[in-house]
Structure 1
């Protein structure tokens, strides 16, 4: 069921068996003063403040992230069209999201090479491909209820052009995030084959109960679909409460031989309709990192953070999880 060794596996080996994904991008943008109360969410900064996006990528690299994820989670051509941009302008912004991450990674790597002692692995850039629900901006990436008119072909048509643009921009990998149902997983797997994608992919699901994908369908059924694709290097979970992760890793291990990636949120709960965080337990950096050690022991090879985690969280994870020797 696995794939031949590629850049993701190499990175994990160099990191000592567990590589670190960055943390909450929108969270850090807000902490830096950005206003992301917009249907485009963090992607609005591609229009309003691209330099800030580059700076946040650098903050996560400095914190020790081995994989940085682009600011394109909620960036789509239909979304940009709704803001009055042309198709061409929207496509340029999608390309720019990858370019900003590549520029940050490459400049950080070049500067790091000049350091007397270096223990940093050259990070990979993952182009974030948000679910159809993320585009709807109504919280449906946590329900999977897209309506009867949203079938397999519509989902493939929705993702196709954006996927082509991202691949053309030159990321190291693709990260399909908060996938809430089986039909969207099927659409993505088929697209990877139809478009003959040559870079590795990560498919991460959402879950609200810690037992099923957000739609209520079984992880076993979803993983059966994903396992058929050699183009998917890793599967996992993102923006899931941290208390669910250990159990779900154990469940994933029963149904897949692929690498497992987990980057949960801080434990706080997002109300997608009300557009606000609800009062709930927040797992601070110390508690989050203690749990992350157990996730690695259970079999996760890629660990990071999602909403409400910060570079501080990633710095703590990097220090705790990466055991490989410095590069010579």
Structure 2
């Protein structure tokens, strides 16, 4: 792709699975479909590709003990990750053009919960995911990361396989001050500097309100310019109302904001593009219809 081209990412998985009639319940969330309705997972991937996505993300976000339980993860975690990788790869290979598969590496101990991070346990949760996904993915995506420490731990646990490393942080939705911050409270500028030290190819912001992402893009761009590094910036926001500090990502299907229909979401994505973001997609509540509008207007 050219220097100025936009990379279109996919959107959320969970709500799309439910819309298609896939079994869907807490706490397993989207992982349930990997065993009970894999055809629906592949169909969602295909729908995003049809809408214009250049990159699709494996449905491995909920393949962690936090969602499927310690016992099931211990016996089937790697196998479930492999299924997620296989389904995404099949959808990408069936596409007319080139579609990349991003291997989703989720928060290992619970979304929005940097306080639950256990450095000593990173390997036992991360390695089954990596082992299951490795042969199917084109790049690694550590997404919805709430703290610098967990992002650093995930990067350290990845193989030296030459695949690009993308990192996506989730932001505080509350406008507590003018400094954009991760959910850990760490400033985005510090997170961007840490990302540069980790050798990320693309830094993104996801699973947050559209309103807080622009300032985060600005902070990341300024940091990268100061450091003299060429790192792409991207974003994929939620379509839900602001989530309180004690909220958990994937804790039920929230009502969607009326103003974040496809044209409304395009308004925000266009703003992020103007600020310098080159990788644009959607997170929770953003579906193929949103991605189609982004692809049609921003590519």
TM-score range, shorter chain: 0.7 to 0.9
Aligned mates of 1:143, 1:56 — CA distance in 2: 28
Q: Which of 145, 148, 155 is residue 179 of structure 1 equivalent to?
A: 145
Residues 207, 59 of structure 1: alpha-carbon distance in 2 compared, 3 angstrom cutoff: same
Displacement, 1:85? 7.0
1:259 aligns to 2:228 (yes or no): no
Q: Which residue of structure 2 aligns with residue 144 of structure 1?
A: 114
More off after superposition, 276-285 vs 17-26: 276-285
1:215 aligns to 2:214 (yes or no): no
CA RMSD, aligned part only? 2.3
Q: Is the 8 A contact 2:239 2:257 kept in 1?
A: no
Aligned mates of 1:104, 1:279 — CA distance in 2: 27
Q: Which residue of structure 1 aligns with residue 207 of structure 2?
A: 239
Residues 259, 316 of structure 1: alpha-carbon distance in 2 compared, 3 angstrom cutoff: same
* Per-residue CA distance 1:160-189 (angstroms, 9 max, x = gap): 33223322x231111111100121022123
Q: Is the 8 A contact 1:180 1:213 kept in 2?
A: yes
Q: Is the 8 A contact 2:240 2:256 kept in 1?
A: no
Q: Is the 8 A contact 2:235 2:279 kept in 1?
A: yes
Q: Is the 8 A contact 1:201 1:234 kept in 2?
A: yes
Displacement, 1:157? 4.1
Q: Which residue of structure 1 aligns with residue 126 of structure 2?
A: 159
Q: Which residue of structure 2 aligns with residue 203 of structure 1?
A: 167
Residues 241, 220 of structure 1: alpha-carbon distance in 2 compared, 3 angstrom cutoff: same
TM-score, normalised with respect to structure 1: 0.80
Q: Is the 8 A contact 2:66 2:109 kept in 1?
A: no
Displacement, 1:81? 5.9
1:1-328 to 2 correspondences below 5 Å? 10=1, 13=2, 17-76=5-64, 80=68, 82=70, 84=72, 87=75, 89-109=76-96, 121-134=97-110, 141-146=111-116, 150-167=117-134, 169-192=135-158, 195-208=159-172, 209=174, 211-230=180-199, 232-256=200-224, 257=229, 258-269=231-242, 271-272=247-248, 275-277=252-254, 282-322=259-299
* Per-residue CA distance 1:18-73 (angstroms, 9 max, x = gap): 11000111121111122322222111100110011011111111111110111111
Residues 173, 84 of structure 1: alpha-carbon distance in 2 compared, 3 angstrom cutoff: closer
**Higher RCO (CA < 8 A, seq sep 6+):** 1
Q: Which has the higher Rg, Structure 1 or Structure 2? A: 1
TM-score, normalised with respect to structure 2: 0.87
Q: Is the 8 A contact 2:141 2:166 kept in 1?
A: yes
Residues 43, 130 of structure 1: alpha-carbon distance in 2 compared, 3 angstrom cutoff: same
Residues 160, 83 of structure 1: alpha-carbon distance in 2 compared, 3 angstrom cutoff: closer
- Structure 1 gaps, min length 5: 1-9, 110-120, 135-140, 323-328
More off after superposition, 59-68 vs 221-230: 221-230
- Structure 2 gaps, min length 5: none
Residues 198, 37 of structure 1: alpha-carbon distance in 2 compared, 3 angstrom cutoff: same
